[in-house]
Structure 1
């Protein structure tokens, strides 16, 4: 039971005609209750009762002040979306709390089963209950699955396939419980393979943007058509007792990220939460990159977004950092926005408080990155990384990364995705890593530092990895991949591996040191604890101050973190 202390005018959704367990659409009644609470003023509380509420369209929350939306508990109040939709879409709120309820969708955003026939134009699968043979759906992706481990396939069986579905070709039922999935091209799937078929990744369960003081507390999400929780330009974000877990034996929870936080400000606090069996990352924290396209004068420039215009909605007073296209992850100057106006449909004119010396083609991004504190967070059996971090001032402690397909933790500013900035000031302490980095998205380390593209100089700096326990799976690669890293310190860790290959791969990095670590090799003896990656553009002579002697890994203490 979670007890929340709340005060304010109360609005019960039942008073507006939303009754649980009657199998009647409650959307308009719930929307009316929320609108009434917002219009009443600051401190309103919207209260759900026990049972299931059906939603056919999105609940909108706009310009709310200190609004609380609360159910009776995650096992007591359930909101079910009956179509492809957002559950909550919130914007321009100051003080918003969503708490003590669960979310699911019916029909499900995916199906799953076993391949019984495969051609270059379609795939037939025998649907495995509780999944359903959904007709008239367009399949966006297929993920090979391991029904024994209950996670996306790993090792030599790793595979996923994404497509632009063929036009006018939707799923159809060809025999009882046999679903035909149209394909744009031949896949690598064979008869007998277990697969999950994903219908969409573009519509999310909870989307909150341009808001202040947002709290997500005691929420359980069982499925989502895309990501589960997105926060975009939220100032001060707190997430606690938040869970994304599949229900009733389903093979997937969300089709994409469990959490995706863009251009968040001041702080993100994440605690006591779990992301399980989702179709992408557990957590992704980033700031979008935009590009300078014209210079009007010394303090006025035009900036254009890459794939969508939303990243240009930057408020006055924000600090932008600038990097050249030749060194995209190394900021060389900053400027504070005085004002901005729309210039074209894809660009915006920005005026700064002082002169800035930038060039056409330079990249720009918001420099006011948040501190990120993660405690008691679990990511397990998902399709991609545990956490993908393109931010600064990070502390991750007392958390579990269990059977993540890619690295447990990935630091990767990316020009491909136009995301950053590079990380710095990072502490990873008292965490437990189990059989990570064995499947889709695999890199060279449980903890991977890998800018995209690789640079000739270090760009990610000050990482401390301490007092943690690492258990290698049969297909895990390496402990740490250090590409373009500076100042990594490894101490007090217990590492149980099953291979004689080096634990640490180094590319164009500096100042990597270790001491007082225990290494237990279950099959062979490690002679060299690190190796240099010489694949272009990695060069041995661009790395220096590497202090990783065998003595730094020959302690004999027990695991500092154990699974209880």
Structure 2
């Protein structure tokens, strides 16, 4: 008998207890199909905590093989108290024990359909963590946090070494006894929670680091984008401050504080603990019609996963905020198959729209002719596992970024979160030395980035470093730094790059590179030591055609380093006066230590004072 709408279940939910109600419903409803959460104790639009019910529903769904979990349209709230706790390593974010609202471990053939719902998360939680999943879809809901992990303030006045700011109520703060401005969380609990003052104070202290900041950045209040030519102001964990007359008015002190009255000063979150969606070791994952208003880190982080698509979705601030995610909108690490970003809006995030790359690991110690210890170098890569028996690894000379050999893995053992011991099947190349790097040779992901809008964020548009075929077409870019950056390094982020085929066509680059992040609208770089710049060529085979570049001065359209093969053809370059021209830039095309670079004659230049011949000359400096 089908009793999805059973009055009995609804009426006696509290008396039977949630566990028994779920058991009764599971026996009579699931049958391997669709779960409507409203039938299992999940309520909407009342601020109540749905976390525990969701955990039980997920357990039931896995047991019964449900294919869809549906949330009737409404607002649902999730708090940390009853979230699953688990130690999670998330590349390019801060690792640690996470409180996970939707723990999706080992799920297959499941869709979570919000039907237009708003999911509101409270406190330090990780909304979605998918591990070892297959054929998973997230659709038709938004993700937001009641208290964002960054903070914002409007600029009231400026002076020598100080700013006067007004801090809205949405961003709670305090000035401590030492006269330091710090930000804190909301006093935020679900309706009906019994509050124990001493316990609440302890929790507030434990979570204080979630709202620490490390730098400031000014946003233009009218354009709702990073302010023209402003750069990050480094601050540490707090700023000297004093209260001013007026509600929530504060004066902050630091010698390099600069801003325009009326603009917005944003306080960058120190940590990346709470990305919106984490996808690990999974395949065939789709985000469709998802809106990410905020996350404490990346919006979507996919690692070691196969076939990941985000489409028809948005990363955009909620009303009243200037910043969406506190880091990249999307980020992909050591992924395979196909990465697709289709018809999305990425705006106002505090870093790039996407970064697609692999991982380099440094050779820490050579133990014998077959055995080495390798070390993850950047703290936000600690715990990242990618070396398994049977894998092939490339051996890379770190200063030149040249791959000189490969070796097949017999076994690997994690020694600590930084160190892994690797035993190869055969003796490795005798050129391998401590300080070199290794990376996985894999089915490098094919990348399709089509129909997206990228604008108003801090830093760059897209970092594209997959060795699979990469196509970027029909997108709109308005980024303050480089709209597109190809790079790779084995000396800081240890991100494996080196594109082998990239096509950039039919895009609009609308006055990108109007601020501080990058060296040109499209930049190609690599972390190569000066000694090897003449011989090393890291990125290859880049075609840039049929695009429109709107520019306001002579900053580089292309700034190339260590490229072998680039063609720039049939593009339109239009000069305008959208921003003040910068005198320091003299050349549209800067090329260094590269081969086979061609600026074709069919490119069109509109509105320039210089001749086409002058405009297309290569320079080796800005």
Q: TM-score, normalised by structure 1?
A: 0.85
> 1:448·1:482 contact (CA, 8 Å) conserved in 2?
yes
The alignment status of 1:506 with 2:581, answered yes or no, reads no
Secondary structure of the 1:334 match is strand
Deviation of 1:534 after TM superposition, in Å, equals 5.8
Residue 468 of structure 2 corresponds to 393
After superposition, what is the alpha-carbon deviation per residue over 1:164-206, rounded to whole angstroms, capped at 9, x for unaligned?
314xx899976554354867x5433247253122334412111
CA 1:313–1:518 in structure 2 vs 1: closer, same or farther (change >3 Å)? closer
1:235 aligned to which of 283, 306, 309: 306
**Partner Cα separation in structure 2 for residue 335 and residue 441 of structure 1:** 37
**Partner Cα separation in structure 2 for residue 177 and residue 111 of structure 1:** 17
CA 1:171–1:422 in structure 2 vs 1: closer, same or farther (change >3 Å)? farther
**Partner Cα separation in structure 2 for residue 64 and residue 121 of structure 1:** 54
CA 1:29–1:121 in structure 2 vs 1: closer, same or farther (change >3 Å)? farther
Deviation of 1:264 after TM superposition, in Å, equals 0.9
CA 1:522–1:232 in structure 2 vs 1: closer, same or farther (change >3 Å)? same
**Partner Cα separation in structure 1 for residue 554 and residue 48 of structure 2:** 49
> 2:471·2:504 contact (CA, 8 Å) conserved in 1?
yes
Task: Select the structure that is richer in helix.
Answer: 2
Residue 138 of structure 2 corresponds to 98
1:14 aligned to which of 32, 35, 38: 38
> 1:263·1:286 contact (CA, 8 Å) conserved in 2?
yes
Secondary structure of the 2:502 match is strand
Deviation of 1:145 after TM superposition, in Å, equals 1.2
The alignment status of 1:140 with 2:214, answered yes or no, reads yes
Secondary structure of the 1:417 match is coil
The alignment status of 1:449 with 2:528, answered yes or no, reads no
**Partner Cα separation in structure 1 for residue 71 and residue 244 of structure 2:** 42
Q: Which moved more, 1:134-143 or 1:479-488?
A: 134-143
Structure-to-structure mapping, 1:33-52, within 5 angstroms? 33-41=57-65, 44-52=67-75
2:440 aligned to which of 357, 366, 369: 366
Residue 477 of structure 1 corresponds to 555
Q: Which runs of 5+ in 1 are unaligned?
A: 1-6, 536-564
Secondary structure of the 2:452 match is strand
Structure-to-structure mapping, 1:140-219, within 5 angstroms? 140-155=214-229, 158-166=230-238, 176-180=246-250, 186-190=255-259, 192=261, 193-202=263-272, 203-219=274-290
**Partner Cα separation in structure 1 for residue 276 and residue 477 of structure 2:** 24
The alignment status of 1:55 with 2:78, answered yes or no, reads yes
**Partner Cα separation in structure 2 for residue 146 and residue 298 of structure 1:** 58
Secondary structure of the 1:247 match is coil
CA 1:391–1:148 in structure 2 vs 1: closer, same or farther (change >3 Å)? same
**Partner Cα separation in structure 2 for residue 63 and residue 120 of structure 1:** 57
**Partner Cα separation in structure 1 for residue 131 and residue 161 of structure 2:** 42
Q: Aligned-pair RMSD on alpha carbons?
A: 2.7
> 1:493·1:516 contact (CA, 8 Å) conserved in 2?
no
**Partner Cα separation in structure 2 for residue 370 and residue 44 of structure 1:** 27
CA 1:106–1:251 in structure 2 vs 1: closer, same or farther (change >3 Å)? same
CA 1:240–1:170 in structure 2 vs 1: closer, same or farther (change >3 Å)? farther
Residue 48 of structure 2 corresponds to 24
CA 1:28–1:121 in structure 2 vs 1: closer, same or farther (change >3 Å)? farther
The alignment status of 1:461 with 2:540, answered yes or no, reads yes
After superposition, what is the alpha-carbon deviation per residue over 1:264-301, rounded to whole angstroms, capped at 9, x for unaligned?
12221221111011111010111121111233444332
Residue 67 of structure 1 corresponds to 110
**Partner Cα separation in structure 2 for residue 94 and residue 32 of structure 1:** 21
CA 1:170–1:256 in structure 2 vs 1: closer, same or farther (change >3 Å)? farther
Deviation of 1:120 after TM superposition, in Å, equals 9.6
The alignment status of 1:110 with 2:110, answered yes or no, reads no
**Partner Cα separation in structure 2 for residue 31 and residue 534 of structure 1:** 57
Deviation of 1:385 after TM superposition, in Å, equals 0.7
Residue 13 of structure 2 corresponds to none
Structure-to-structure mapping, 1:118-129, within 5 angstroms? 124-127=164-167
Deviation of 1:159 after TM superposition, in Å, equals 2.1
**Partner Cα separation in structure 2 for residue 389 and residue 518 of structure 1:** 24
- Structure number with larger C-alpha Rg: 2
CA 1:475–1:88 in structure 2 vs 1: closer, same or farther (change >3 Å)? farther
Deviation of 1:406 after TM superposition, in Å, equals 0.6
> 1:141·1:198 contact (CA, 8 Å) conserved in 2?
yes
Residue 488 of structure 1 corresponds to 566
Secondary structure of the 2:123 match is coil
> 1:288·1:365 contact (CA, 8 Å) conserved in 2?
yes
Structure-to-structure mapping, 1:529-544, within 5 angstroms? 529-533=616-620
Residue 352 of structure 1 corresponds to 424
Residue 543 of structure 1 corresponds to none
**Partner Cα separation in structure 1 for residue 265 and residue 150 of structure 2:** 11
> 1:484·1:507 contact (CA, 8 Å) conserved in 2?
yes
Secondary structure of the 2:213 match is coil
**Partner Cα separation in structure 2 for residue 344 and residue 83 of structure 1:** 30
Deviation of 1:123 after TM superposition, in Å, equals 5.1
Secondary structure of the 1:531 match is coil
Deviation of 1:344 after TM superposition, in Å, equals 4.4
**Partner Cα separation in structure 1 for residue 143 and residue 341 of structure 2:** 19
